[in-house]
Amino acid sequence: MRPLPAVNDDNCAFWTGGGDGELMIARCHDCGYYVHPPTGFCPGCDGRDVVPEAVSGRGEVYSFTINHKAWLPNMSVPYVLALVELNEQAGLRLPANILDCDPDKVRIGMKVAVRFEAVEDLHVPLFGPVA
């Protein structure tokens, strides 16, 4: 089983939005800056009007590693852990697994789209290649 995050008021929409097929990223209503990981304030303008907003769920692989060690029981290897930069904002990056792709085919700059894995009450964002 995948380890689950500690869910709080700031990150709840991020971890549950996938149930509606939405990748939810916190955004400052004062300056428009996307904030991830989600917090109650904007590091861009120090505003406090930061609320979750649905984004496209599309981006590209910024960096990645291929892991060959199963750190947890029943973990399939190899697996790819990537930093995905979302299309909405330069520097808006999420750590996520890359699925539906041979690990040796993953490349920096590869176009990807979000998919969700339901685990208990959460929906973990993962990414796969865009055809």
Task: Locate 116 and state its tokens.
Answer: 């969700």
Asked whether residue 3 is assigned to any structural domain, the reply reads no
Asked whether residue 89 is assigned to any structural domain, the reply reads yes
What pLDDT sits at residue 1? 67
Mean per-residue pLDDT for 25-43?
A: 96
Asked whether residue 60 is assigned to any structural domain, the reply reads yes
Asked whether residue 1 is assigned to any structural domain, the reply reads no
2 pLDDT above the threshold of 90: no
- Work out how many domains the chain is built from and give that number: 1
61 and 82 Cβ atoms separated by less than 8 Å = yes
Mean per-residue pLDDT for 85-89?
A: 98
Asked whether residue 80 is assigned to any structural domain, the reply reads yes
Write out the residue range of the structural domain in which residue 107 sits: 12-129
Asked whether residue 99 is assigned to any structural domain, the reply reads yes
Buried-state track 105-125, b at ≥16 Cβ within 10 A, e below 16:
ebeeebebebbbeeeeebbbb
Asked whether residue 7 is assigned to any structural domain, the reply reads no
Does the reported pTM lie above 0.85? yes
Task: Locate 74 and state its tokens.
Answer: 């029943």
